[in-house]
Structure 1
Amino acid sequence: MSASLSIPPRLAPVLDDLTPAQRAAALALGRVLVLAGAGTGKTKTLTAGVATRIELYGMEPSRILCVTFTNKAAREMRERITRACGEGMAPSWLGTFHALCARQLRAEPDIAHLRPGFDIRDADDVLAIVRRLIKSVPVEQLPRPMEGEPGDARQITKMAERISRLKEELVTPEMAGHHVEAMIARAHAQKRFVDDAGWRFVVGLYARYQSLLREQNAADFGDLLMWPTLTMLQNEIYRYRWSRRFTAVMADEFQDVNRAQFLWLKMISEVSGELFAVGDDSQSIL
């Protein structure tokens, strides 16, 4: 493919810095998955893929979405693309999943039952809310072994993590009861241990927690991804409206995506059919 292409002068040094396999990947269009080990140039290949789409294929930077897992990685990618393509040429939709999904949710906050200008609660805020809610529960209603220790930091963290896990699975408070009972039934059928009482307690806690966030016009990090993803799954018009914005979607550290992140990437790239992902399959959590 690359032999028949006329490579722009500004792109040539970017591609020359790649191995033949990396170069072929950077030039490829459609759905591309680059798998390689740590330190083998995956992010460099991704950056070259972005530069290729801008310099060779003429895609507008504002219509390329690039997602990373950390703010540091996002800054480094922006710097690399700027060096390759020039000042002001880095995609405006470049950032972490949370940052990009926050932009999406702020554009239409009503999908999460929120109002414009909603606040975002960080991890410490979440723990404080969960602690307050648990402390308001009579001791006799607490699941063992939490009984008698409603303020225990480990228990607070465990309950907050379970709420986060439900959101990663795209489970709303209304769905939580059925989801948890199905999970418990599967565990029993497979003769695996499951904290039945603890998970059933989380169902009610999750509902109270989410209700409190809505009263405060606030979202946690899980909400930022869950509501746009759920809405794209359930509403074809909403999905098309967002997916058509982007001519290419580029994802770093693909091995680390959870279910919600995977579905978000799949749907946001639906119209273009352009999803370029790099990852290390030896570290995959899927």
Structure 2
Amino acid sequence: MSAYPQTLAPVLDPLTPVQRDAAMALGRVLVLAGAGTGKTKTLTAGVACRIQMYGMRPSQILCVTFTNKAAQEMRQRITTVLGEGQAPFWLGTFHGLAARQLRAEPEVGQLRDGFDIRDADDTTALIRRLMKAMDPETVPEPDTGKKCDVRQVKKMGERIGRMKEDLVTPEAAPAWVRGLIERRRAARQMVDVEGWEFAVRLYQLYQAILREQNAADFSDLLMWPTLALMHDRAYRARWSERFTAVMADEFQDVNRAQMLWLTYMSEYSRELFAVGDDSQSIL
């Protein structure tokens, strides 16, 4: 068993020897284990080790969970072990942390200081309003035969969200959808050509309204910072150099935008610690 400071005993002692070694390891670490085996506890211990054993500042550790509840529990546990003010300042959900990043430099999303964040009800209402205002002949016919019904509005919202999760901007959407249609046809899969082409037009109108209102939806919060990290080397350096370690919970559930965000944010430190259950992967 590796030696460690007694202050870390409350987070390290409950772990198995393998989990303990993983929590104390540096570099790129991936912990795969089943449900209920202590993955989040291992991540919490990993954060505490970096602060207590390796002298990393809490303000320079980026720690991502999937729920606010999990983030709060992790913060409380680290505080209990290390003391007040010792939990990472950048500890939260993907979208919560990315929103702080976007607030710092809103121009990467063609936004201005003080932009509003639209919740799910707001975005659904906007999509419904836009669909009702469009030429009825261009709106795809849903199974119910009713234009702009609840399911149709939801489907279009999901498709816009899908494009944003894949980091597809409104300008890039036509080419992306053509590629999607071609791939599905080549694989002899059914594809809703009319519906996807309509989703592209709707997405462009929808995003134009958000920009006009200086607003972002939930998916924008991660999409715009991630695109900036990908394409702007100075921006990427500016953000990745802030952090000495990047930690991620529920790694099996990350989508493309989240994976790239983690990768680029850890580019400078090369310290990426992730825990997940590959048997529960959504991919």
Bin the TM-score by the shorter chain.
over 0.9
Partner of residue 54, structure 2: 57
Matched, 1:69 2:66: yes
Displacement of 1:275 in angstroms is 0.5
- RMSD between superposed Cα atoms in Å: 1.2
Tell me which of 223, 231, 236 is aligned to 2:233: 236
Q: Is the 8 A contact 2:11 2:41 kept in 1?
A: no
Distance in 1 of aligned mates of 2:27 and 2:135 = 56
How many corresponding residue pairs? Answer: 283
Give the Å deviation of 1:179: 0.2
Partner in structure 1 of residue 36 of structure 2: 39
Q: Percent of pairs identical after alignment?
A: 67
Within 1, Cα distance between the matches of 2:124 and 2:112?
23
1:210 aligns with 2:203: no
Secondary structure of residue in 2 paired with 1:277: strand
User: Residue 189 of structure 1 aligns with which residue?
Assistant: 186
Q: 2:243, 2:90 → 1: CA distance?
A: 9
Letter in 2 for 1:131: R
- The 8 Å contact of residues 143 and 201 in structure 1, kept in 2 or not, is answered as yes
How big is the shift at 1:143?
1.7
Report the counterpart of residue 133 of structure 1 in structure 2: 130
Q: Deviations over 1:191-225 (max 9, x none)?
A: 00011000000110000000000011000011000
Tell me how far 1:140 sits from its aligned partner.
Answer: 1.3
> What residue identity is the alignment partner of 1:107?
A
Matching of residues 88-167 of structure 1 within 5 Å: 88-145=85-142, 149-167=146-164
SS in 2 for 1:173: coil
TM-score by length of 1: 0.97
Tell me what 1:83 maps to: 80
- Pick one of 20, 23, 27 that aligns with 2:20: 23
Structure 1 20/147 Cα, relative in aligned 2: closer, same or farther at 3 Å? closer
Unaligned regions of 5+ residues in structure 1, if any?
none
CA distance in structure 2 between the aligned counterparts of 1:147 and 1:47, rounded to whole angstroms: 49
Q: 1:148, CA displacement in angstroms?
A: 5.5
- The separation in 2 between residues aligned to 1:64 and 1:156, in whole angstroms, is 40
SS at match of 2:54: coil
Q: Secondary structure at the match of 1:21?
A: helix
- How far apart, CA to CA, are the structure 2 residues paired with 1:274 and 1:141? 50
From 258, 271, 274, the counterpart of 1:277: 274
Deviations 1:3-37 (A, max 9, x none): 3x5x2221133222210000010010000000001
SS in 1 for 2:7: coil
CA distance in 2, matches of 1:285, 1:220: 23
Q: Do the aligned partners of 1:140 and 1:147 also contact (CA within 8 Å) in 2?
A: no
CA distance in structure 1 between the aligned counterparts of 2:232 and 2:262, rounded to whole angstroms: 16
Residue 171 of structure 2 is aligned to residue 174 of structure 1: yes
After TM superposition, give the deviation of residue 147 of structure 1 in Å: 9.2
Contact 2:31–2:39 (CA<8 Å) still a contact in 1? yes
Distance 2:30 2:159 in 1: 31
Structure 1 position 146, deviation (Å): 7.0
